[in-house]
A and B are shown apart, each in its own frame.
Chain A
Amino acid sequence: MSDRSQTRKAPGELLLSLRGISKNFGAVSALTDIDLDIHAGEVVALVGDNGAGKSTLVKVLAGVHQASSGSIEFQGKPVTMASPAAALQLGIATVFQDLALCENLDVVANIFLGQELNPLRLDEVAMEVRAWTLLNELAARIPSVREPIASLSGGQRQTVAIARSLLLNPKIIMLDEPTAALGVAQTAEVLNLVERVRDKGLGVIMISHNMEDVRAVADRIVVLRLGRNNGVFTPDASNQELVGAITGATDNAVSRRADRLREAAGEAI
């Protein structure tokens, strides 16, 4: 990991560029004046406290919510994300925090939802084979792809949601807390996957509360705080700096706890 900065290529073409994005829900401004750039072959980690607006930003980019103001450019052309279908069409795939799966459908149907092979005579065999291939790449532990999603564990569902995002060979993939429910091996697979798709030249936006995971794969760490940009960091920024930016103060719960532990250790000696 130490020589990662050398092996990493310079980021490629500018894929997505946000300027002054704001999003209001009634009186609540969930996002205010957000700027963000995503390049091909780059992993951008989006971090921030609960309620900072990370998921809202992802949903704006996925076409689920429409921005109240601001502009979005995709590969240099201004675009409006009028609907999720429009975002998918551009090549922006998303794993949502709440996964957004249909519990009454089986794994194959969920992975291919909206993208079924052979619309007038569904090709179940080809879809099942492709589903297994995607799932095996993610080291998924899924007993059967013909059971309804309702019978899967939280982590298995998350894997299904990730597999679905890979289906369309997107240009940008957005993962909202993709490893929150995953086991050790599956987390490692997802991080491997993030690096793999980055090396294939995709842009990746990853949201995570786990700083270790973030440092392991991110090229840039973008901090949101109370719906605003609050600094951009490189993975070798100190914990102190990051936590400071996330919580908005050098004197915060995390640093106080660290100090207290240090003091306790000092007294013990």
Chain B
Amino acid sequence: MSQQLDRADARVSHATGLSGTIKAFLDRVKSGDLGSLPVVVGLAIIWTVFTVLNPIFLSPNNLVNLLFDCSTTGVIALGIVCVLMLGEIDLSVGSMSGVGSAMIGVLWVNQGVPLPVAIGTAVALGALIGAVYATLRNRLGMPSFVSTLSGLLALLGLQLYMLGATGSINLPYGSKMVEFGQLMILPAWMSYTLALIPGIVMLVVGRSTNARRRAANLSAGSSTGLILKAVFTTIALLAIVFYLSLGRGVPWMFALFVALVLAMNYALTRTQWGRSMKAVGGNAEAARRAGINVRGIYISAFMLCSALAALGGVLSAARLASSSQQAGTGDVNLNAIAAAVIGGTSLFGGRGTAFSALLGIIVIQSIANGLTLLNLNSSLRYMITGAVLAIAVIVDSLARQSRASHGRG
């Protein structure tokens, strides 16, 4: 067989077989390319501690509740991943979600606007606010830190204004909206079927990629490794679904969140837009010189972030069955940002994945949930979440230094 295109340099050792794959993974971790490793380890520790302190924590129905709670803030964190990717920040996502929640109450409950229209309006308003932030940044060079901080206050004012004197609007119990937020569960057959899909997609896409790479005289991954990965993923997902089915099952709202994560993951890793996002976050001037519409990228990221924050607010209204002045206040803002960072999206830009929103929010909600089970109030919860965030940022900084010294950008 002729020399493969990407195997001509004798200095590079190439991972072959399973042991090679494991060794390559360890090398990557040592050089500071940690990926989701810290958060998975952290999650294991947190779950172990809480289960020891109170076995109820690991009961299926508690985990189902946990997933319900994850979905609202998780959607907001997904938007945060977009702006962090560019090395920017949106501090107003909490207030934005509060406005989204208030719009459901005002438009749908009070004004009788059809629900889809009300949701669409809330999300569109979010997109509009995001476009304002991006324009302030593009045209006036206003740091997003400042523009979104003023946005935080202005949107909070808008939320209070919309809710008016009563301060709270109850969503009708028994409506589809509230059921979605509190009760609706995927039928068992559907959750099992969905759990099979990732493994199948992995296998099909992986095989066709390997075949194309071989045809193009490039090295291709081993098919054993691919099959092992797919089988492992499928078993893990089936086990999760089985365990949750011992309780109520997989919430629809969580399925929606995961679908958004998967869509975002595809957009960030497999499209030109995602590539441009990473490029702008890594080196905006280089991206501009490569002909990328850098301003457009900023606009898209801020619009997505605020729109997802508004959607998160809509979901939280469904979850709480009300639009209140409390929605989006307190720790929502920080939890959403912390989730993205804890999940492994770098604060320094150019590095992050959609899955960090999923993993990070599970960590944060686990802490909240576990402490509630121990009858500890929010004072302790704030302190612990704060400490976890600090640890996550320290890990991020250390990994960044290590990457710099190992030449991994």
Distance (whole angstroms) from the CB of B290 to the closest CB of chain A: 4
* Contact of B283 (CB < 8 Å), options: A101, A121, A128, A132: A101
Cβ-closest chain B residue relative to A148: B409
| Residues in A neighbouring B11, C-beta threshold 8 A | 143
A34 close to B (CB within 8 Å): no
Cβ-closest chain B residue relative to A116: B272
Contact call B271/A113, Cβ cutoff below 8 A:
no
Could you say which of B12, B282, B292, B404 has the most chain A C-beta atoms within 10 Å of its C-beta? Answer: B282
Contact call B271/A119, Cβ cutoff below 8 A:
yes
Contact call B407/A113, Cβ cutoff below 8 A:
no
Do A105 and B291 form a contact, CB below 8 Å, given A141-B9, A144-B9, A148-B409? no
Contact call B212/A125, Cβ cutoff below 8 A:
yes
Cβ-closest chain A residue relative to B212: A125
Contact call B286/A129, Cβ cutoff below 8 A:
no
Cβ-closest chain B residue relative to A149: B409
A28 close to B (CB within 8 Å): no
Where chain A touches its partner, the secondary structure class is loop
> A-facing mask of B274-291, CB < 8 A → 1, else 0?
011011011101111111
Contact call B271/A150, Cβ cutoff below 8 A:
no
Cα–Cα, bound, A129→B215 (Å): 11
Contact call B290/A84, Cβ cutoff below 8 A:
yes
* Contact of B281 (CB < 8 Å), options: A88, A104, A122: A104
Contact call B409/A125, Cβ cutoff below 8 A:
no
Contact call B278/A114, Cβ cutoff below 8 A:
no
- Docked complex: A112-157 residues within 8 A CB-CB of B: 113-116, 119-122, 124-126, 128-129, 132, 141-152
Cα–Cα, bound, A152→B281 (Å): 20
| Residues in B neighbouring A88, C-beta threshold 8 A | 291
A100 close to B (CB within 8 Å): yes
A22 close to B (CB within 8 Å): no
Do A122 and B275 form a contact, CB below 8 Å, given A84-B290, A151-B408? yes
Do A144 and B12 form a contact, CB below 8 Å, given A104-B281, A116-B275? yes
A241 close to B (CB within 8 Å): no
Contact call A114/B5, Cβ cutoff below 8 A:
no
Contact call B5/A100, Cβ cutoff below 8 A:
no
Contact call B407/A132, Cβ cutoff below 8 A:
no
* Contact of A120 (CB < 8 Å), options: B212, B272, B285: B272
* Contact of A84 (CB < 8 Å), options: B273, B276, B288: B288
Cα–Cα, bound, A120→B12 (Å): 32
| Residues in B neighbouring A85, C-beta threshold 8 A | 291-293
Contact call A102/B216, Cβ cutoff below 8 A:
no
Cβ-closest chain B residue relative to A85: B291
> A-facing mask of B115-152, CB < 8 A → 1, else 0?
00000000000000000000000000000000000000
Distance (whole angstroms) from the CB of B288 to the closest CB of chain A: 6
Contact call B6/A121, Cβ cutoff below 8 A:
no
B351 close to A (CB within 8 Å): yes
Interface residues, chain A, CB within 8 Å of chain B? 62, 64, 83-85, 88-89, 94, 96, 100-105, 109, 113-116, 119-122, 124-126, 128-129, 132, 141-152, 164
5 A–B contacts from the bound complex (CB under 8 Å): A100-B286, A113-B292, A125-B218, A128-B6, A148-B408
Known: A105-B275, A105-B278, A148-B407. 13 other contacts (CB 8 A): A84-B291, A88-B291, A102-B287, A104-B283, A115-B291, A120-B271, A121-B270, A121-B271, A122-B270, A125-B209, A143-B9, A150-B403, A150-B404
The 10 closest A-B pairs by CB, nearest first: A150-B409, A151-B407, A119-B272, A104-B282, A148-B409, A85-B291, A114-B290, A104-B409, A103-B409, A100-B286
